[in-house]
Each structure stands twice: as C-alpha cells, then as structure tokens.
Chain A
Amino acid sequence: NAGVMQNPRHLVRRRGQEARLRCSPMKGHSHVYWYRQLPEEGLKFMVYLQKENIIDESGMPKERFSAEFPKEGPSILRIQQVVRGDSAAYFCASSPTQTAPEQYFGPGTRLTVT
C-alpha cells in the first residue's frame, strides 16, 4: 500500500527557470494539499485541490505559482521564473475525504534555486 509519492526528491533550478513538482496521493485519496517549508520553519499551507478543482488557494502567491490535479495523473505544483526565495522544501499531503483532518504526507521535494 504505497504512501504519498513525490518527485523529484531534489530539484535544482537556475533563476528564471520553471520548476514542476509532482505528487501522487495515496490510493483512494482524492484530496491533495501542498505546503512549503523553509529551514527551521513550520509548514505553510499553499493550496488544496480535489480532482480537477482548486478548492482553496489562499496560501498561494498570486504570481508565478499554479497548481493542478487532473482527472488522470499526479497533482502538479508549477513555479515559473523561479527566484532564490523559492528555495524550500515542498510537501504534498493527501486525505481520503474533505472532512478528514488527518493528512498523509509525502517525502517532499527540496527545491534549490541557484
């Protein structure tokens, strides 16, 4: 029973490039959450998606960041024109239902912008 999977685990991008982070939720889970974590900081909520819908994107920066969760395939967090301040660990979590507060986290993608 595979858990939440994220890839790549490590991603290095130069300033101005695009970063694409992928998340496959646990089997049977259709609710996905993305978080960002800076060193020695807690997790900051970015966006909550269900299949083909963005439910809550109140934590997403208004520019350069976008997320999707298509009917088929993984959820993708996309960061365009990356800047050094985007360097962080990005975690994805999934839950089985909308009303289940417990979330299952993936191992994260560590993005480094050079």
Chain B
Amino acid sequence: GESVGLHLPTLSVQEGDNSIINCAYSNSASDYFIWYKQESGKGPQFIIDIRSNMDKRQGQRVTVLLNKTVKHLSLQIAATQPGDSAVYFCAENTSSGGSYIPTFGRGTSLIVHP
C-alpha cells in the first residue's frame, strides 16, 4: 500500500554541522508535505511545509527539498544546534473530500553533540 518512510532512523551530528534528514513517499497523489519536530515528551511541532508544485522552500535555518521524480523529500538544517535534537517526522497529505489526513513516517532521531 501507500506509505511514507524515512531512510535513517538515527542521525548524529556535531554542533555547527549541517543536517540532512531524508524521507521517501510513494503516493504520487500527495500534494502537500510537512516536516514536524517532536521533542521528548511533547507533541509534534510544525517546522516547514511544501506543496507539490514546488521543489524547494526555505525557512529560518531550514530548507525542504522535494523531488517528485523519485518521490523524495529532505529537510536540511543549517548550523545544527543542541536544541535541534529531537525526532523529525515527514508527513504527506492527500486531499480527500476537501480535507487533509496526513500519513506520517516513522521518524528520524537527530542527536546533536556539543
């Protein structure tokens, strides 16, 4: 069936390095993608989104890249900080009857070493 998955379950980086978290999706009908950050004991927090008619979007220290040809999504975090340590989820959204029900991947744990 359709699924969203992440390539790496754990990513360890040094403070100041750039981090890249990848996500593969299989539903070609997905038209909206969101990255969420979840810190321990908390709910997911929106980071950045991208629509399927775009291939790149930048935020504050974060960039999301979308490659529809290979159905791949990535989140790039510049100058990673210890506060960035968390689990990162990508979610694909497909409009159904006018509403969006997201499908979440398993998550990648980002560990930032000071």
The chain A residues found within 8 Å of chain B, CB to CB, are 4, 31, 33, 35, 40-45, 48, 55-56, 58, 91, 93, 98-108
Interface residues of B (CB under 8 A from A): 4, 32, 34, 36, 41-46, 49, 89, 93, 95-96, 98-107
The 9 A-B residue pairs with the shortest CB-CB distance in the complex, in nearest-first order = A105-B43, A42-B104, A101-B100, A101-B93, A43-B104, A101-B32, A98-B99, A42-B106, A105-B44
Minimum CB–CB distance for B22 against chain A, Å: 15
**Known A40-B106, A56-B96, A103-B46; 12 more pairs at CB < 8 Å:** A35-B104, A41-B107, A42-B104, A42-B105, A48-B99, A56-B101, A93-B43, A101-B34, A105-B44, A106-B43, A108-B42, A108-B43
The listed residue with most A CB atoms (<10 A of its CB), out of B41, B43, B95, B107, is: B43
Determine which of B34, B41, B106 lies in contact with A41 in the assembled complex, contact meaning CB atoms within 8 Å.
Answer: B106
Give the number of A-B contacts (CB < 8 Å): 61
CB distance from A68 to the nearest CB of B (A): 18
How far apart are the CA atoms of A64 and B88 in the complex, in Å? 31
**With A99-B98, A101-B100 given, is the CB distance from A107 to B42 under 8 Å?**
yes
Q: Are A43 and B101 in contact (CB under 8 A)?
A: no
Consensus secondary structure, chain B interface: strand
- The complex places the Cα of A26 from the Cα of B20 at a distance, in Å, of 32
CA distance A107 to B39 in the complex (A): 10
Does A103 contact B102, Cβ atoms closer than 8 Å?
Answer: yes
Residues of A contacting B89 in the complex (Cβ-Cβ under 8 angstroms): 42-43
Residue of A nearest to B106 (CB): A42
User: Which residues of the partner chain B approach A99 to less than 8 Å between Cβ atoms?
Assistant: 95, 98-100
Who on chain B is nearest to A107 by CB? B43
- Name the one of A55, A91, A104, A107 contacting B99, with C-beta atoms under 8 angstroms: A55
Contact A48 B101 (CB under 8 A): yes
Given the known interface contacts A105-B43, A105-B45, the answer about A98 and B106 at a Cβ–Cβ threshold of 8 Å is no
Residues of the A chain whose Cβ atoms lie less than 8 Å from the Cβ of B103: 45
B101 partner residues in chain A, CB cutoff 8 A: 33, 45, 48, 56, 58
Closest to B5 in A: A42
